[in-house]
Structure 1
Amino acid sequence: MLALLERGPMYGYQLRVAFEESVGGTWSLNIGQVYTTLSRLERDGFVVALPASEGGQRPYELTGPGRTELASWFATPLERTDRPRDELAIKLALAMTTPGVDVAAVVQSQRTSGMRALQEYTRLKVRSDKRAQGDLSWLLVLDAMIFQCEAEIRWLDHCEATILRDRPAPAPAAQPAPAADREEAKS
């Protein structure tokens, strides 16, 4: 929100539209979350609400402390611990320890989904490259999605190889005893 408000005062709906345009519509933003965030930013002194327009929209403006916070955010690298947990890694870890789950099928299903997504992202990239290069922010987001998808597929390949290598060999099925032995066992 702070980065968007650096462009100039905006009200909630404008912020939502500006965000979605910046990321090429990849991630949607809930309008309720926009206003909740604006309230928190106002409480913290990073933005100030301006008088409402004739249409009733209340624009927000970035403050000096807001600019300082924004500069700090851009200058501070994300820590790995700050990232959301990886639901796929959790899913595979649980699949490995849950009886009756075909882990290889879980891996293959995810890989298939990842390959479809990668193909779609690549198609979008080709179309985007043919358009004017003016939408560089969208191209960078699209590149990030492609690289993340490629990394996920590579990781899934690694998981599958590890599972196949380290999976205990199935116990041989019990062979029925020859008929003569069965007769002796009965007596």
Structure 2
Amino acid sequence: MSIRHGLLALLDQGPRYGYQLRSEFEARTGATWPLNVGQVYTTLGRLERDGLVESAGEDDEGHLFYAVTEAGRSELRQWFDTPVPRTNPPRDELAIKLAMAVGVPGVDVQAVVQAQRRHSMKALQDYTRLKGQALTAGEQQSDLAWLLVLEQLIFQTEAEIRWLDHCESRLSQHAARSAPASAPASAPASAPTAAPTDRPRRRSRI
């Protein structure tokens, strides 16, 4: 997540101070990625150092305002125009957990997958409920931004559930291939040959 560019995008709409930036950032994203004020002011300090924002005075309450510079607007437009690269995908804790679990003795990987699926299904239900609330909340800019974030979370969770289904199928196939082959059934023992009983009988003498 680029806090740097998120703050530039908010400042592009007019000067703001730290608490305003934090509140508006969380309103746009539905507090999905909460910020603390320390992060905001640390990022503002770096942006000011790089010439992307500048001080814009104080109000009567002593709030220090920041404004975006032309260099900041240029970087912001470049960020919007450049696709997010997939060459270095973010680390996914769930993928790492399953990758490690398959090599650890005594771990029931199927149980890990099933527990995660239940959790993901619950999250999907919660996101869907929140989407319904967002659709009826209104047409403000912050509502639209939150709706877009929610839908991304919904699509991402749906994809995760499909991937977990695939993992379970893959684990079952691997277990079937790794199972020892059953011993061939032994052939039934042949019945013992009966002693011949058809010897020619002696004719009795009269």
Smaller-chain TM-score range?
0.7 to 0.9
Counterpart in the other structure of 2:63: 57
> Residue 158 of structure 2 is aligned with which of 142, 150, 169?
150
Counterpart in the other structure of 2:201: none
Q: Secondary structure at the match of 2:33?
A: coil
Would the alpha carbon gap of residues 37 and 166 (structure 1) be closer, same or farther in structure 2, given more than 3 Å must change?
same
RMSD: 1.6
Identify unmatched segments of 5+ residues in structure 2. 1-6, 183-206
Matches within 5 A, 1:16-55: 16-55=22-61
Which letter maps to 2:98? L
Q: Bigger radius of gyration, 1 or 2? A: 2
> Residue 165 of structure 1 is aligned with which of 173, 185, 200?
173
Deviations 1:43-100 (A, max 9, x none): 1110012223332211110000000000000000011134421111111100111121
> Residue 85 of structure 2 is aligned with which of 79, 84, 94?
79
CA distance in 1, matches of 2:122, 2:180: 33
Percent of paired sites with the same residue: 59
CA distance in 2, matches of 1:58, 1:130: 36
Would the alpha carbon gap of residues 170 and 129 (structure 1) be closer, same or farther in structure 2, given more than 3 Å must change?
farther
Deviations 1:117-156 (A, max 9, x none): 0001111112222232332111111100100000000001
Runs of 4+ in 1 over 4 A off after TM superposition: none
Between the two proteins, the alignment pairs up a number of residues equal to 172
Which letter maps to 2:137? R
Counterpart in the other structure of 1:90: 96
Identify unmatched segments of 5+ residues in structure 1. 173-187
Q: Secondary structure at the match of 1:48?
A: strand
Counterpart in the other structure of 1:180: none
Deviations 1:96-118 (A, max 9, x none): 11121111111111111100000
CA distance in 2, matches of 1:75, 1:46: 18
- My pick for the range that moved more, 48-57 or 13-22, is 48-57
CA distance in 1, matches of 2:180, 2:117: 25
TM value normalised by structure 2: 0.79
Which letter maps to 2:85? E
Q: Secondary structure at the match of 1:50?
A: strand
TM value normalised by structure 1: 0.87
Structure 2 residue 10 is matched with structure 1 residue 4: yes
- My pick for the range that moved more, 114-123 or 132-141, is 132-141
Would the alpha carbon gap of residues 16 and 43 (structure 1) be closer, same or farther in structure 2, given more than 3 Å must change?
same
CA distance in 2, matches of 1:74, 1:128: 25
Would the alpha carbon gap of residues 143 and 8 (structure 1) be closer, same or farther in structure 2, given more than 3 Å must change?
same
- Which has the larger helix fraction? 1
